[in-house]
Structure 1
């Protein structure tokens, strides 16, 4: 079978919603599953084997600063000792590819957020939101 460049997914064809609100100013987003393992050893065998004991989800969302949405959503809750939780929906709908990738990240908690930022060397201000999640759903996948 010959290579078909049309089947390569373009990252620019995506959309992101945070708590059902579409964020049009997202530059990049990644969500990663980190697999946790325990060591297994057997008598008479020098090898160390691995067995999955769990997983955790981590990610990062980078966006162009156009408003104070993140600060308004998080600052007062964090200051009051409350955990900020969210749902992030990621959809990649490249019309050149056979199918759509649509993933929902649930129980998202944020590791940090930028409260304020100035940068004389930056043409545009961007901010990063590192996060963790404990549940996910693959709604649609590319064949």
Structure 2
């Protein structure tokens, strides 16, 4: 395919629209999802070679955050009760981008297992505003994988 044909294939309408993103928490669709992010960070240690500073990956850190427009309590009470008993429950999240205008109808899906919460928003509101709750969590990067990816 030539450069001109390639450019036509990737017009502006082909950019992903987050409105088509979906998230499942322990196999339950979060229909009120507003925002979702999962990332892996390389933790590095400095390595010196002569006078130059390089680095070496020594571990990986998984971080997950999401915001919901509150409708139901979800699993918050289950996690709170487990914490109060000294337990550390773990969950599974699956994120999907399925924009119908994506090139060749492709989609991207990622599975993240062994997810733990750093905090639980029990209640939060502001007068005159739709109630939102933002959560932060961690996961082991070895327990994350792409189920589907968008190729060229």
1:48 aligns with 2:53: yes
Aligned partners of 1:52, 1:138: CA distance in 2, in Å? Answer: 22
Match of 1:39 among 30, 38, 46: 46
1:125 aligns with 2:123: no
1:70 aligns with 2:75: yes
- The aligned runs of 1:5-44 (5 Å cut-off) are 5-42=12-49
Count of residue correspondences: 140
C-alpha contact (below 8 Å) 2:125/2:132 kept by paired residues: no
Aligned partners of 1:17, 1:118: CA distance in 2, in Å? Answer: 24
Name 1:101's counterpart in structure 2: 108
Aligned partners of 1:133, 1:48: CA distance in 2, in Å? Answer: 30
Shifted more, 71-80 versus 100-109: the winner is 71-80
Larger fraction in helix: 2
TM-score by length of 1: 0.91
TM-score by length of 2: 0.86
Name 1:59's counterpart in structure 2: 64
Q: RMSD across aligned C-alpha pairs, in angstroms? A: 1.3
Shifted more, 67-76 versus 18-27: the winner is 67-76
Aligned partners of 1:38, 1:10: CA distance in 2, in Å? Answer: 37
CA distances 1:79-132 after superposition (whole Å, capped 9, x unpaired): 111112100000111111121110001110010011122322x42100011011
Structure 2, unaligned runs of 5 or more: none
Offset, 1:7: 2.3
Structure 1, unaligned runs of 5 or more: none
Secondary structure in structure 1 of the residue aligned to 2:75: helix
Q: Which segments of structure 1 move beyond 6 Å, counting only runs of 4 or more? A: none
